[in-house]
Amino acid sequence: MMPPDFPSLDTWILAGQSNMQGVGLLSEALSPDDRVWAFSMAGKWEPAQDPLHPLWLSCQPVHQELRRPNLPPEQQGLSNEELHKLSTAVCGAGLGLSFGKAMADALGTPVGLLPAAHGGTSLDQWSPSLKEHGGHSLYGAMLQSVKAAGAPLRGLLWYQGESDALADQGQTYGERLAAWITALREDLGLPDLPVLLVQLGNFVSTDRGTEHAWDLVREALAELPMQVPFTAVTTAADLPLNDIIHVDAGGLIRLGRRLARQALHLAGHAEYASGPVLQSLEPATWPNGLATVRVHCSGLTGAWHPEKIFGFSTWTGAGEPHPSLSVVSASPDPNDPAVIRVLLTVTPGDPALAEARLGYGLGLDPCCNAVDDADMPLCSFLPRPLDWKR
């Protein structure tokens, strides 16, 4: 079976680890749409339907080779078909269908998806240096699938980084991902290939040892579009979870729509804004022991929501919670609803103010909720200096 309008079918790669693979409840998955097609992991075109990443049925051996060594003893003797049924009995809903439907709605043409993600994988496991291993490497398998699919490649969606949020990996993640994108574009012969990135969602854990590395990976993803052309980023940090680390089906549906809006923006559709991009922080002290920081962003659609915004925090220059500056509240500015006004307590004349910083969406499991009229979120950002007006 071939998709309609196959010679002009815009196709998008879905790559990364488990949150791109999709671990949402299948009972909450979107229904198939005859405008959205997938080049399945079995190597054939078919109407897209969750789960889009049935790894045990993949024609690319890397997906079984990575998983079999980690099976519990009682599953070692099971066939690939039996393991597929076990692994997809409950979960497997992802963001691909949502993205495809939103693109088809906007463009009025069918959309192709090329699932290539694999849960628990690091950026090193996606290394272009492994492409000579073909289907025995993630990168090589992805390139082989692109060639076999035969449809025009329009871009790549990337949700990965949890496995790199480690003390020795987080610091270099942005540099390594930029090099990866460059290599992919060269190998595909598509120097302007759009790459849409997802900033890491939440991780409910009592182990705070990786917290800073998690923030570093989030920051690297947020900063990448300023360094690498034809890229964009949105965040999953405000989305609900299905377990301690996986975005639930409803959250993935929202995330797919966010990525579609960014794809349309990069393609030059002016009616779709980029999504919020932090531009500046404008602090000012008041004589009554309070202060404000007005958060300015570009790329908004309409105004900020909700009325009570959570996720802002104050820090010292040394990266510690600020001892005397606390967030009271945050909300859309009544004089300009496209600006967030953060209200702070302040001790007038406190020398610690000089080094104060404001961050958003920090930590493994932040509570942050700032979105615009199009449900496009403010990405997490590391503490930024505040230049006080006195």
| Mean pLDDT within 136-164 | 98
- Express each pLDDT in 154-164 by its tens digit: 999 999 999 99
pLDDT at site 208: 78
Architecture of domain 6-266: 3-Layer(aba) Sandwich (3.40)
- Bridge partners (DSSP) of residue 91 are 25
pLDDT at site 389: 64
* DSSP 8-state symbol, 247: B
Q: How many CB atoms within 10 Å of residue 129?
A: 10
Where in the chain are the domains? 6-266, 277-385
Residue 186: pLDDT band with limits 50, 70, 90: very high
pLDDT at site 206: 82
pTM of the full structure? 0.96
| Mean pLDDT within 291-306 | 96
| Mean pLDDT within 80-96 | 97
* 8 vs 290, residue with greater confidence: 290
CATH 2.60.40 assigned to 277-385 = yes
- Express each pLDDT in 30-70 by its tens digit: 999 999 999 999 999 999 999 999 999 999 999 999 999 99
The answer to whether residues 149 and 39 touch, using CB atoms and an 8 Å cutoff, is: yes
Distance, in Å, from the CA atom of 38 to the CA atom of 114, rounded to the nearest integer, reads 6
Residue 287: pLDDT band with limits 50, 70, 90: confident
Distance, in Å, from the CA atom of 58 to the CA atom of 54, rounded to the nearest integer, reads 7
pLDDT at site 286: 81
Residue 185: pLDDT band with limits 50, 70, 90: very high
